[in-house]
Amino acid sequence: MSVRLTSPGPTLGVVGGGQLGRMLGEAAGPLGIEIVVLDPTPDCPASPVVTDQIVGEFGDPDGLRELAERADVLTFEIELADPELLETVHEETGVPVEPSPSTLRTIQDKLVQKRSLAEAGIPVPEFRRVDDVEELRGAGEELGWPLMLKARRGGYDGRGNVAVDGPEKADDAMAEIGGDAMVEAFVPFDRELSVIGVKGDDTTDVFPVTETIHEQEILRETVSPPRIGGETDRSEIERRAYDVASDVLDQMEGRGVYGIELFEVDGRILLNEIAPRPHNSGHWTIEGSSTSQFEQHVRAVMGWPLGATERRCPTVTSNVLGDTDESRPAELTGVETVLGASNANLHWYGKREVRPLRKMGHVTAIGEDPDALLKRTRDLRDSVSFETTNEP
C-alpha cells in the first residue's frame, strides 16, 4: 500500500460531531487529513478543531449528501447514524462508508448484535428477546434474577439499561424501557475489560487489554494494564480476551476501530457489547500509545497503514461527568489542580451544557503502578466540579 500526502489532504466526512468527533479532529491534523462533520447541534464539540461542520440531523438526507460530496470517505462516530441512508448515499455518490453500514445495522440493535455474535460462536451472556412484562417475567424464571433489561436501540451511557432484581420490579423496569427490549442473564463478573480492535485494509490489530470500571452503567475509569493478579493469570486472561476480540473482528464488515467490551468471570471471557467506532474505554491511547485509537480509526477508514498499538506505559483515565442536578451552561471549576499535575492531561469536550452524568471531559495520568495511578486520577477528577459556590 503506498500513501501520498497532499495539501489540501484527503477529507474524511464524519456523521456526528460529539467528543469522539472532536478527538478524531485532534488526531487527523498531524496526518494532514481534513475532517468535516455532520451534527445537528450548532457549534458541536468537534466544530472548533475540524475544517467544517454541516448542521443537520444524523439522518438528514441532504446533510449526508452534502457531507459525501465534500468527503473522500465517510464514517460515523455515533450509532444513531442511519445505515439505510448511508447505503443510499454510498450508491449515489460512490463514496466509501467505513465501517460498513450493514455492521452498523447489526450493532444498532442489541438483540440482533447478540444473536449474530452467538451464532458465530462468540461467548455471550444468556439473552432473550422480551417485548412485554410477561416475557420479562418468563425470562426471569428461565435465566434467574437479577436480569439486565436493555432497550434494543438507542441506549447509551446507561440510558436504555435497567437492572431488574426480581419479578416484582418487572412492571417498573418495562415501563422505563418501553418494550422492544432484550434481557441478559446477570454476569457475576470479576472484572470488566475492553479491547479496542481495528480492521485495516487487509489486516486487523488490537490495542492492549484495558480494565474498565462502571458505576450506574456509565464508564468511570479505565486502567491499562488491567489489575489482574499474577503475570501468568494476566497473560492467560489477556490471551483469551484477544481471542474473543479477534473472533468479533472477524464478524465485522468494514474498516475502522471497534470498541469491544468484555466480562471476565472465573477466568473466562464473555462478550458484553460492541461499538463500531472509537470508544470511551480507548481514550487512554492518546497518551498511552504511539498511535491513539482516534488516529488509528482515521488511518483505517482512509485505507492507510495502521499504526503501532503498543502501550507506552501504564495509563489511567477518569471521566469528568456532569455532577449537577440539572442542565445548565457548562462551567468547570478547580481545573488548576489538573493543569498543574505532573504526568497528567486534561481533555475537555467543549459541550455547551452540563447535564447530570453527561460526559464532559476526561483526565489521563501516566506512570508505573496502576493502583497508585487510579487513586491519583480519581483525586484529580475529584478536584474539579461543575457545582459552583457563591464565594467570590
Q: Which residue positions form the known binding site for ATP?
A: 110, 150, 184-187, 192, 214, 272-273
Which residues between 236 and 265 bind a copy of itself (CB under 8 A)? none
Q: How far apart are CA 90 and CA 55, in angstroms?
A: 20
Q: State the CB neighbour count (10 A cutoff) for residue 216.
A: 11
Give yes or no for residue 174 binding a copy of itself (CB under 8 A): no
Cβ pair 365, 376 in contact under 8 A: yes
Strand partners, 76: 15
- C-alpha cell belonging to residue 16: 456526528
Give yes or no for residue 41 binding a copy of itself (CB under 8 A): no
Give yes or no for residue 201 binding a copy of itself (CB under 8 A): no
- C-alpha cell belonging to residue 181: 427490549
Give yes or no for residue 138 binding a copy of itself (CB under 8 A): no
What does the per-residue mask of binding to a copy of itself show for 268-287, with x meaning CB under 8 A? Answer: -------------------x
Question: Most distant CA pair in the chain: distance in Å?
Answer: 63
Residue list, annotated binding site: 110, 150, 184-187, 192, 214, 272-273
- Residues in the interface with a copy of itself (CB under 8 A) total 61
Question: Could you say which of 25, 99, 101, 259 contacts a copy of itself (CB under 8 A)?
Answer: 25
Q: How far apart are CA 319 and CA 381, in angstroms?
A: 7
Give yes or no for residue 10 binding a copy of itself (CB under 8 A): no
Cβ pair 90, 71 in contact under 8 A: no
Give yes or no for residue 350 binding a copy of itself (CB under 8 A): yes
Q: Which is nearer to a copy of itself, 52 or 92 (CB)?
A: 52
Question: Could you say which of 61, 218, 335, 370 contacts a copy of itself (CB under 8 A)?
Answer: 335
| Type of residue found at 272 | N
The residues, any chain, with a CB within 8 Å of residue 141's CB and separated by 6 or more, are 167
**Stretches 107-115, 155-163, 222-230, 351-359: which one binds a copy of itself (CB under 8 A)?**
351-359
Q: How far apart are CA 182 and CA 158, in angstroms?
A: 15
SS3 category, 281? helix
Q: List contacts with a copy of itself (CB under 8 A).
A: 1-9, 22, 25-26, 29-32, 34-35, 43, 47-51, 287, 290-291, 299, 304-308, 310, 312-313, 329-336, 339-353, 361, 366
